[in-house]
Structure 1
Amino acid sequence: MTDGAVQFDFVHVQYPQGSGGNKKKHLYTNKEKFKKGKKSILSIQNTDSLCLPRAIVVARLHSKKPQDPGAFNAWQKQWKRIQEADCRSAVQKKQALELMELAGCDSTLSSCGPLEQGNLQGVLYPEFRLKIFQFQANSSTLKLEPIYKGYGNGKCLNVLLDQGHYDTILSMPGISEHQYYCDDCDVGYSHIEEHRTTCQYCCSFCLSETPCPPDGSCIECSECHGFFKSMTCYQSHLKPYSSKTSTTVCSMMDRCQHCQSWMAKKLLANHKCGGQKKCKICKKIVDKDHQCYVQKKP
């Protein structure tokens, strides 16, 4: 030991760590990174208090995106203009002010709340249905939950409210990271048989996005063994169930001839009646409560 002065220098080095998994994991903890990292969210850049009507008119035009290639170019020009700042194009502000006037709302208000949301839904009905989302509280990951759901069966115009500012949600499937999204149940899903066979807002027979009205008949398909409550319902199951695929419900579904359960053919291959299933680990047919977490060493 020494009686003289002693100086200690500490150097803190952060050791690199990794957790693997999703490369976009950072998007689920920071709201700003989440919104900027999602192409499904269009940020409304404004200096006034019209972010809600601005977000709505942007969502309204996006919902009118045509499938016809001949009409797409004209729509694309409008789409580019409505996204631009007021210094370059006043289209967004002009349409926002017109919407507020139609709704009987004061455009000089400092913010838009439930009263304005309801009034705006009134002028959008019946063609459109307004939905406002916010980030879910007390969640380990960033998820959205609806705080306002308008009425009617029109196209949904989805808007995100965060820290007093409204942005446009362009795609709910993109937000939920699923191929499909149910606007009535507010859940995303990747396979239609996962949701539409049980959703009260869909047709559990032909799996269309809206219920088919019965006509008093019961038609059975000889191919998929499905039962359909009308000729329209039967014809619907012979068509592609989505514009994203050429697969029909008839080619995708089939019925178990023993327990009469109707399910996807890929599930029917390993299906066992009575709630049993094939365990992916031990490869045996087991009950639903079977717990086989680790394979035993032979």
Structure 2
Amino acid sequence: MPRFENLIAAIDGSGPTEQMVHTLLSLPAFAQCHVTLLHAVPSQTSAEEMRAAWQKGQELLAQTLQTFPPRPGLKISTQLVEGDPKVVVLQVAESLPNPLIVMGSRGRNRIMAILQNSVSQYVFQLASCPMLLVKDDAYVKYPSHVMVALNNSPAAQAAFATALDLISGIQGAQIFLASVQLDADNPGRDEALDRAIDILKNRQIGHQVLTAVGDPATEIVRLAEESKADLLVMGSPDRRPTIARSIPDLDRLLGRSISDYVRVHIGCPVLMVRSVQDSD
């Protein structure tokens, strides 16, 4: 089965999200992908308000759908659902095989996102599938230069594999391998980096190695900005036990998660790849 089988675009009227979907559909990796344009209408206090909100949602989806002209192989549908947008996005993702969620993000910090009931923050916490976040002020570009935050964790390995699939068939594409060491005095051998370089050489994929020493979260953001990466792909492990998958990860909410810091501060779109095998 293709890695990118179902693309779920959370449509809220923000331009960057729609631009990102158009960009993804221009990539060979998404040639067989089914696109769901999803809009959730929160419950209203009166029937009249509900009818108005529902009509507005219908118009938004219709306008968005018109931006996708028919073409061979394009499979696209719309879903208008009543309910809390945070919950609706997760429910739709769980109902489809191999989903990728694409949605906008205002880049709020953890506490502000919680207080303002951020949809993207909530979905980021609970989604078990990959999630591509596009900040409202992001400049969406064709992802010919993709940066991967690399280490020995299963989540990072999954991110590297996803990046390989993403650039498959893109002429002249390059992968930037970002490796951050915590201690300059004891750097150690980065086996994950060595393996990734070997794979890229064997596949004749252009690449650059970007190294840094310091805090991984801040260094990943810096390397992405300095390299002018079009897209960052990184692992975002799910550390909760199976029984607790329906509640937010408090460490990520209140602590200093690498993936959460990057989500807030990165300038380019970021694709978070989930793993349940380790933590960040």
Higher helix share: 2
Of the two structures, which has the highest relative contact order with CA contacts closer than 8 Å and spacing of 6 or more? 2
In the superposition, the TM-score normalised over structure 1's length comes to: 0.28
Is the radius of gyration larger for structure 1 or structure 2?
A: 1
Task: Report the TM-score, using the length of structure 2 for normalisation.
Answer: 0.29
Structure with bigger strand share is: 2
